[in-house]
Structure 1
Amino acid sequence: MIHQYKLNGYNIVLDTYSGSVHVVDDLAYEIIADYEKTSAEKIVTTMLDKYKDDSSISESDIRETIADIEELKNDGQLFTKDEYENLSLDLKKRKTYVKALCLNVAHTCNLSCDYCFASQGKYNGDRAIMSYEVGQKAIDYLLENSGHHRNLDIDFFGGEPLLAWKVVKQIVAYARSKEQEYKKKFRFTFTTNGMLLNDEVTEFLNQEMYNVVLSLDGRQEVHDQLRKTVNGKGSYEHIVPKFKEFVRKRGDQEYYVRGTYTRNNVDFTNDIFHIADLGFDKISMEPVICDPKEPYALTEEDLPEIYNQYEILAKEMIGRGEQGKGFTFYHYMLDLSEGPCIQKRITGCGSGTEYLAVTPWGELFPCHQFVGDEEYSMGNIWDGITKPGLQCQFKESNCYSKPECKDCWAKLYCSGGCPANALHATGSLGGTYDFSCDVFRKRVECSMMVKVDESIRAMEGQSS
């Protein structure tokens, strides 16, 4: 399977199953499109007629191009066959071990964001703060069920996890105390709205957290429209100075400023550029996931402009990079030379198997987006997984288990998509959220173009 597209002056050809990306001239681009369904002689005739007024293209050029394509095919870089479908069947039978936990340490929040999937941090339930005892047992559960995994991940999440600040510090200390005994290494991630950031918090987070996610939607008028305090006031002016100081002190450690775009700001690149202009160089911006009846919900009518915005973003990133003002965009971080192993590319994030969410009461869910849906309560940290059948549903969910993914060129980049999004959009873990698929494919195209541009400029720099 191949995918061809034109963007920013490049003719790009992706070979899905080898992962090879080719940048070709117009002649090769057209021949590749016809190569598998047309004979070589017919291609020669067609191309000669098409380029009859172009003296730079001769019959020998056409035949040479066909020979080059044939060579790439023989080398396994074009028109490669799918050798992974049977592997997906084996992956369903594999024994899995838990590698990561999302600790919902605070089912409460000091903001009241209109689009919050967690219902302002309460997850459609009671407000609660995780106790140290539950946090301690969660660490024990991960250690005892991590199998061969040496590096273990803990995400501190909410609500607003800084409302559980004392517990967070206790859990980190307990986890660190167990590393040598179990020969494991913990990596912590922390997501915060920034309202309670101070010097003490900053020092601790910068010392202990592998990554910190800072929530900011962009321009003040955009951010304040939906990210408000419980008193209805915007939070932009309060958090931006705190975020700037936090990132300054963080140095070269990992962080992300993460925003959400809605129908209120389909021109979301202006929010990304605003964040970059504030001095932040690691940025993520996600489309809102919400009830389609909400006035800020994105619809298929918005897709053409969303596509346009992602192209604007890609071109601007290239331009800023040339000026020494580059920034990282999370969804354009595509490794074309190595990337994740094929098992990961088939199975995805591991929700419900290698990754679980823990509520303040110790209940286990497939991930934070399922918390509060009792149908997807999988067990607890004392008894472990009590619904193995449910866990099997997640183990079996991948890019080969969904008929809609069969002919999708991007399936080995999305692994079949987010199970939570599929459930909320279609009512089934095995469904596909078409809107999300469309957006994802566009982001892959744009990220590939950025990587192609980087590679070409690097080669030009080496030759000059």
Structure 2
Amino acid sequence: MIHQYKLNGYNIVMDTYSGSVHVVDDLAYEIIALYETTSTKDIIDGLLNKYTADPTISEKAIFETIEDIEHLKTTGQLFTEDEYRDLSIHLKKRRTYVKALCLNVAHTCNLSCDYCFASQGKYNGERALMSYQVGKSAIDFLLENSGHHRNLDIDFFGGEPLMAWKVVKDIVHYARSKEAEYHKKFRFTFTTNGMLLNDEVTDFLNKEMDNVVLSLDGRKEVHDHLRKTVNNKGSYDYIIPKFKRFVEKRGDKEYYIRGTYTHNNLDFTNDIFHIADLGFDKLSMEPVICDSSEPYALTEADLPEIYHQYEVLAKEMLNLGKNGNSFTFYHYMLDLSEGPCIQKRISGCGSGTEYLAVTPWGELFPCHQFVGDKEFSMGNVWAGITKPELQCQFKENNCYSKEECQKCWAKLYCSGGCPANTLHATGSLQGTHDFSCDIFRKRVECSMMVKVAETLRAMEESEYALTEE
């Protein structure tokens, strides 16, 4: 399976199963599109008739291009066969161990964001803070069920996890105290709206957290429209100085500014550029996931503009890179040489199997987006998984278990998509959320183009340096 597209002056051909990416001229681009369905004679005759006025398009040139394509096919770089379908069957049978927990330490929040999937932090239930005893038991559960995994991940989430600040510190200290005994290494991530950031919090997070996610939607008017305090006031002016101080102190450790775009700001690249202009260089911007009846919901009619915005972003990132002013955009981080292993590319995030969410009461869910849905309650941190049949549903959920994914060129990049988004959109874990798929495919195209342009630029600079020598 291949995918061809034109973007920013490049003719790009992606081979799904080998992962090869080719940048080709116009002639090769046309021949590749015909190669599997048209005979060599018909390809030559058709192109000669089409380009009668172009002296560079000769029978020899066409034939040599076909030979080049055949060589790429023979060497496994183009039109490769799917060798992974059987592997997906084995993945369903594998024994899995838990390697990551999302600790919902706070089912409450000091903001009241309109689009919050967690119902302003309450997850459609009661407000609550996780106790130290529950957090300690969650760490014990992870240690006892992590099997061969040495690196264990803990995400502190909410609501707003800083509202359970003492518990967070105590959980981190307890986890650290168990590392040597169990020969494990904990990696912590923290997501915050920034309202309670201060010097003590900043110093602790910068010492202990491997990554920190800071929530900011962009321009003041965009951010304040949906991210308000409980007193219905905007939060932008309050958090920006805090975020700046935090990132300045963080140094070279990982962080992300994470925003959400909605129907209200379809020009979301301006929000990304605004955040970059504030001095932040690690950015993410996600499409809102909400009920279609909401006035800020994204619609199918918005897709052309969304596509355009992703292209604008990709091109501007390349321009900034030329001038040494680049920033990292999470969804354009594409590693073509050392990306995820094939098992990960097939099975995805591991929700419900290797990754679980824990409520303030110690209840286990497949991930934070399932919290509150009793149908997906999987057990608790004391008894462990009490619904193995539910865990099996997630183990069987991958890009080969969904009919619509079989014909998609991007399936080994998305692994079948987010199970929570799929369930909420279609009512089934085995469905596909077409709108999310469309956006994802566009992001892959743009990220691939960025990688192509950066690679070609590096090659040109290297050749120029050799010439100068």
Normalised by the size of structure 1, how large is the TM-score?
A: 1.00
- Looking at structure 2, the residues matched to 289 and 63 of structure 1 have their Cα atoms a distance apart, in angstroms, of 50
Alpha-carbon deviation of 1:174?
0.4
Measured against aligned partners, the alpha-carbon deviations of 1:391-435 in whole angstroms (never above 9, x if no partner) come to 100000000000010100000000000000000001111111000
- Looking at structure 2, the residues matched to 449 and 375 of structure 1 have their Cα atoms a distance apart, in angstroms, of 42
Alpha-carbon deviation of 1:360?
0.4
What is aligned with 1:431?
Answer: 431
What is aligned with 1:97?
Answer: 97
What is aligned with 2:279?
Answer: 279
- Looking at structure 1, the residues matched to 318 and 53 of structure 2 have their Cα atoms a distance apart, in angstroms, of 35
What is aligned with 1:444?
Answer: 444
What is aligned with 1:207?
Answer: 207
SS across alignment from 1:69? helix
User: Quick check: 329-338 or 72-81, which moved more?
Assistant: 329-338
What is aligned with 2:243?
Answer: 243
Counterpart check, 1:334 vs 2:334: yes
- Looking at structure 1, the residues matched to 243 and 61 of structure 2 have their Cα atoms a distance apart, in angstroms, of 57
What is aligned with 1:346?
Answer: 346
Alpha-carbon deviation of 1:180?
0.5
Measured against aligned partners, the alpha-carbon deviations of 1:356-408 in whole angstroms (never above 9, x if no partner) come to 00000000000000000000000000000000111100000000000010100
What is aligned with 1:158?
Answer: 158
Measured against aligned partners, the alpha-carbon deviations of 1:120-179 in whole angstroms (never above 9, x if no partner) come to 000011111100000000000000000010000000000000000000000000000000
- Looking at structure 2, the residues matched to 87 and 29 of structure 1 have their Cα atoms a distance apart, in angstroms, of 32
Alpha-carbon deviation of 1:186?
0.4
- Looking at structure 1, the residues matched to 313 and 201 of structure 2 have their Cα atoms a distance apart, in angstroms, of 33
- Looking at structure 2, the residues matched to 225 and 148 of structure 1 have their Cα atoms a distance apart, in angstroms, of 46
What is aligned with 1:176?
Answer: 176
- Looking at structure 2, the residues matched to 58 and 248 of structure 1 have their Cα atoms a distance apart, in angstroms, of 60
In the alignment, residue 100 of structure 1 is paired with which amino acid? A
SS across alignment from 1:213? strand
In the alignment, residue 164 of structure 2 is paired with which amino acid? A
Alpha-carbon deviation of 1:281?
0.4
SS across alignment from 1:285? strand
What is aligned with 1:312?
Answer: 312
What is aligned with 2:467?
Answer: none
Alpha-carbon deviation of 1:446?
0.2
What is aligned with 1:359?
Answer: 359
- Looking at structure 2, the residues matched to 142 and 54 of structure 1 have their Cα atoms a distance apart, in angstroms, of 66
Alpha-carbon deviation of 1:54?
1.1
- Looking at structure 2, the residues matched to 141 and 332 of structure 1 have their Cα atoms a distance apart, in angstroms, of 35
- Looking at structure 1, the residues matched to 52 and 458 of structure 2 have their Cα atoms a distance apart, in angstroms, of 36
SS across alignment from 1:96? coil
What is aligned with 1:387?
Answer: 387
SS across alignment from 2:407? coil
Measured against aligned partners, the alpha-carbon deviations of 1:95-116 in whole angstroms (never above 9, x if no partner) come to 0000100000000000000000
SS across alignment from 2:189? strand
What is aligned with 1:370?
Answer: 370
In the alignment, residue 318 of structure 1 is paired with which amino acid? L
- Looking at structure 1, the residues matched to 147 and 299 of structure 2 have their Cα atoms a distance apart, in angstroms, of 43
What is aligned with 1:296?
Answer: 296
Alpha-carbon deviation of 1:290?
0.4
SS across alignment from 2:213? strand
What is aligned with 1:131?
Answer: 131
Measured against aligned partners, the alpha-carbon deviations of 1:286-305 in whole angstroms (never above 9, x if no partner) come to 00000100000001000000
In the alignment, residue 333 of structure 2 is paired with which amino acid? M
Structure 1 residue runs of 5 or longer lacking an equivalent are none
In the alignment, residue 79 of structure 2 is paired with which amino acid? F
SS across alignment from 2:113? coil
- Looking at structure 1, the residues matched to 51 and 173 of structure 2 have their Cα atoms a distance apart, in angstroms, of 70
- Looking at structure 1, the residues matched to 244 and 321 of structure 2 have their Cα atoms a distance apart, in angstroms, of 21
- Looking at structure 2, the residues matched to 356 and 24 of structure 1 have their Cα atoms a distance apart, in angstroms, of 44
Counterpart check, 1:418 vs 2:418: yes
Alpha-carbon deviation of 1:63?
0.8
- Looking at structure 1, the residues matched to 53 and 250 of structure 2 have their Cα atoms a distance apart, in angstroms, of 60
Alpha-carbon deviation of 1:57?
2.4
In the alignment, residue 30 of structure 2 is paired with which amino acid? E
- Looking at structure 1, the residues matched to 76 and 56 of structure 2 have their Cα atoms a distance apart, in angstroms, of 30
Runs of 4 or more above 6 Å deviation:
none
- Looking at structure 2, the residues matched to 328 and 263 of structure 1 have their Cα atoms a distance apart, in angstroms, of 24
Alpha-carbon deviation of 1:323?
1.1
* Structural mapping, 1:113-152, within 5 Å: 113-152=113-152
Counterpart check, 1:403 vs 2:368: no
What is aligned with 2:13?
Answer: 13
Alpha-carbon deviation of 1:56?
2.0
| Number of residues of Structure 1 aligned to a counterpart in Structure 2 | 464
- Looking at structure 2, the residues matched to 78 and 460 of structure 1 have their Cα atoms a distance apart, in angstroms, of 25
Counterpart check, 1:324 vs 2:324: yes
- Looking at structure 1, the residues matched to 148 and 378 of structure 2 have their Cα atoms a distance apart, in angstroms, of 22
In the alignment, residue 65 of structure 2 is paired with which amino acid? T
Measured against aligned partners, the alpha-carbon deviations of 1:283-334 in whole angstroms (never above 9, x if no partner) come to 0000000010000000100000000000000001000111111000000111
- Looking at structure 1, the residues matched to 243 and 9 of structure 2 have their Cα atoms a distance apart, in angstroms, of 37
- Looking at structure 2, the residues matched to 48 and 293 of structure 1 have their Cα atoms a distance apart, in angstroms, of 54
- Looking at structure 1, the residues matched to 289 and 335 of structure 2 have their Cα atoms a distance apart, in angstroms, of 27
- Looking at structure 2, the residues matched to 345 and 183 of structure 1 have their Cα atoms a distance apart, in angstroms, of 28
SS across alignment from 2:191? strand
Alpha-carbon deviation of 1:46?
1.1
In the alignment, residue 81 of structure 2 is paired with which amino acid? K
Alpha-carbon deviation of 1:61?
1.0
- Looking at structure 1, the residues matched to 144 and 50 of structure 2 have their Cα atoms a distance apart, in angstroms, of 66
Alpha-carbon deviation of 1:269?
0.4
- Looking at structure 2, the residues matched to 2 and 447 of structure 1 have their Cα atoms a distance apart, in angstroms, of 17
Alpha-carbon deviation of 1:439?
0.2
Counterpart check, 1:223 vs 2:232: no
SS across alignment from 1:406? helix
In the alignment, residue 62 of structure 1 is paired with which amino acid? I
- Looking at structure 1, the residues matched to 460 and 419 of structure 2 have their Cα atoms a distance apart, in angstroms, of 42
Counterpart check, 1:109 vs 2:93: no
Alpha-carbon deviation of 1:50?
1.7
Normalised by the size of structure 2, how large is the TM-score?
A: 0.99
Alpha-carbon deviation of 1:337?
1.2
What is aligned with 2:39?
Answer: 39
SS across alignment from 1:23? strand
Alpha-carbon deviation of 1:338?
2.0
- Looking at structure 1, the residues matched to 39 and 459 of structure 2 have their Cα atoms a distance apart, in angstroms, of 35
- Looking at structure 2, the residues matched to 59 and 321 of structure 1 have their Cα atoms a distance apart, in angstroms, of 41
- Looking at structure 2, the residues matched to 167 and 222 of structure 1 have their Cα atoms a distance apart, in angstroms, of 33
Measured against aligned partners, the alpha-carbon deviations of 1:202-222 in whole angstroms (never above 9, x if no partner) come to 000000000000000000000
User: Quick check: 335-344 or 56-65, which moved more?
Assistant: 56-65
Instruction: Give the alignment's Cα RMSD to 1 decimal.
Output: 0.5
